[in-house]
Structure 1
Amino acid sequence: MADKFPSAEVIGVDISPTQPSWVPPNLKFQIDDAQLDWTFEPASFDFIHVRYMHGAFDDWQKLYDQMFKALKPGGWFQHIEPNIHLKCENPISVAENESGTFKQWADLFYDAGDKIGRTFKVTDGLMQDSARKAGFEEIVHKVHTIPLGGWPKDARLKREGQFVGLYMDLSLDGFALYPIGQILGWSLEEVQVLVAKMRAILRNPKHLGSGDMHLVYGRKPLDAPPPEKSPTPEPNTA
């Protein structure tokens, strides 16, 4: 984004210090927790992008309310989240995997999120509903199916699937250890067995593994009233 729009000021926010050492001059990073009260000036952003935050928030409405407040009138938000219940495009594999191991995987994450009050069920209308309640208009919801391996015949999809499949293969252990191991109390060996089942399905091209990516975007109305300023504290005269 910063490279494509050199005249824009781009701010990246993450809770962990994982930023690259070299960045364009119009890009800066901040270490912060997006769950907390934002310190950005009201009506100061033209565009806000959020992604991959499932299981991270205990108050999604607050996130959308803060995005609305931080955007200028006419500004846009974009939010991308995956459906963690993966799919098989091969009908023969659906009953065995999509309704078996893939369902078990998703249900465990749903249970972990429910247990700590930070839901993983964010692609079933939560984003659109939160945006609507915050005051956004022109809200659009799109679903893109992403291959999880190099099985597509189309060259672009094949390359995309190879990258995403490798990412999933390398990330399964990290995904599972905290929510399934620590929150739900599974032993390391039990987690490893489940991860091995997931990895075997994703590595086998006959199953045609895929996942749905949900994109929601919307606009702050041009006639949105300016946000209320916090009252100035009275000076202490004592």
Structure 2
Amino acid sequence: MGRHLDLDFEKLGELMREVGFVDVVVKPFKIPIGRWPSDPRMKEAGMYQLYAMLDGVEALTLAIFTRCLGWEPEQVQVFLADVRKEFKATKRYTYWPCAVIYGKKPMAVSSIDSAL
């Protein structure tokens, strides 16, 4: 398969710098999956993330498992039923890694000259 699914947020920020963005900021954070957090805001975010995971886990796995691992679609569905049960388990404290990455488009030299 030869693909890595790791999210390197700092690398994404560096790619933005390479294409010319300035003042690039990388703010990684974790979103809980499920309603286990005690903070009401995080509990709500966790519920939305849980719904997204329950709904989207098939899209993340079906092609890889059938094309690369040779599973039958029915096998994947049985496996995903167990995965969904694990996501719903309240004793599991799981997170989804996320980041906000932003930067500024540099001002063109002509824009600077006209501002003076």
Aligned alpha-carbon RMSD (Å): 2.4
TM-score normalised to the size of structure 1? 0.41
Find the counterpart in structure 1 of residue 19 from structure 2. Answer: 134
- Assess, with a 3 A threshold, how the Cα gap between structure 1 residues 224 and 197 changes in structure 2: closer, same or farther: farther
- Assess, with a 3 A threshold, how the Cα gap between structure 1 residues 144 and 224 changes in structure 2: closer, same or farther: farther
Which runs of 5 or more residues in structure 2 are unaligned? 112-116
Is the Cα–Cα contact under 8 Å of residues 9 and 26 in structure 2 kept in the other structure?
no
Which runs of 5 or more residues in structure 1 are unaligned? 1-110, 227-238
- 1:183 CA displacement: 4.3
Is the Cα–Cα contact under 8 Å of residues 201 and 209 in structure 1 kept in the other structure?
no
- 1:213 CA displacement: 0.5
Segments ≥4 residues shifted beyond 6 Å: none
Distance (whole Å) between structure 1 residues aligned to residue 110 and residue 77 of structure 2: 53
- 1:124 CA displacement: 4.9
The one of the two structures with greater contact order (alpha-carbon pairs below 8 A, sep at least 6) is: 2
1:143 aligns with 2:31: no
SS of equivalent to 1:125: helix
**What pairs with 1:1-238 in structure 2 (closer than 5 Å)?**
111=1, 114=3, 120-223=5-108
Percentage of pairs with the same residue: 28
Provide the aligned length of Structure 1 versus Structure 2. Answer: 111
Is the Cα–Cα contact under 8 Å of residues 143 and 213 in structure 1 kept in the other structure?
yes
Distance (whole Å) between structure 2 residues aligned to residue 224 and residue 129 of structure 1: 23
Amino acid at match of 2:43: K
Amino acid at match of 1:150: R
- Assess, with a 3 A threshold, how the Cα gap between structure 1 residues 181 and 126 changes in structure 2: closer, same or farther: farther
Is the Cα–Cα contact under 8 Å of residues 141 and 215 in structure 1 kept in the other structure?
yes
Amino acid at match of 1:129: E
Is the Cα–Cα contact under 8 Å of residues 136 and 220 in structure 1 kept in the other structure?
yes
TM-score normalised to the size of structure 2? 0.78
- 1:139 CA displacement: 0.8
- Assess, with a 3 A threshold, how the Cα gap between structure 1 residues 200 and 224 changes in structure 2: closer, same or farther: farther
Select the structure that is richer in helix: 2
